[in-house]
Amino acid sequence: MDANNHRFKFLPQPLVLGDPLLDSQHDDLLKCLHALKALPPDAEAYRCNEIISELSARIVQHFEYEESVMQQLQIPEEMLRQHEAAHQEILDEMANLHLNSMLDGYASAASLVPKVSQWVLNHHLKFDLSLRPFLEKA
């Protein structure tokens, strides 16, 4: 199935890259963010922890796959290194989020959503969309 014809539940069409697995993973990341946003203010901390943990695991899996795709596409070395460095920044931020939660508990889901959404969406806009031309040529 052509990814451009596939309708994702959370991934808007302008953000679709054209690689079915990458796009599906992006949709899953947005699904986690949506679940976090949908938590009621009085949701128990363990539910927030579950969603953040699932999001973290999906991010790691996604970055591993995305980096393997970038290597297969033979994108320019500097572009690859910058993209990998951006991945590491997000992984570091997620690790800090988890460490802080062990000390102080998670902040409210309402305060986490903008921060984590910004990491995911800014990365997609700045780095992932630049992969589209390489994917179209492949």
List per-residue pLDDT tens for the chain, 138 residues long.
Answer: 344 455 789 999 999 999 999 999 999 999 999 999 898 877 767 788 888 889 999 999 999 999 999 999 999 999 999 999 999 999 999 998 888 777 776 667 777 888 899 999 999 999 999 999 999 998
The closest alpha carbon to 29, from 5, 8, 1, belongs to 8
Secondary element (H or E) of residue 135: helix 132-137
Q: Is residue 13 part of a domain?
A: no
Instruction: Give the pTM.
Output: 0.88
Is residue 48 situated within a structural domain?
A: yes
Could you tell me if residue 65 is inside a domain? yes
The answer to whether residue 107 sits within a structural domain is: yes
CATH number of 122's domain = 1.20.120.50
1 in a structural domain? no
In a domain, 74, yes or no: yes
**Residue 47: its pLDDT value, please?**
82
Which of 17, 31, 52, 15 is CA-nearest to residue 137? Answer: 17
Quote the number of domains for the chain. 1
**Within a domain: 23:** yes
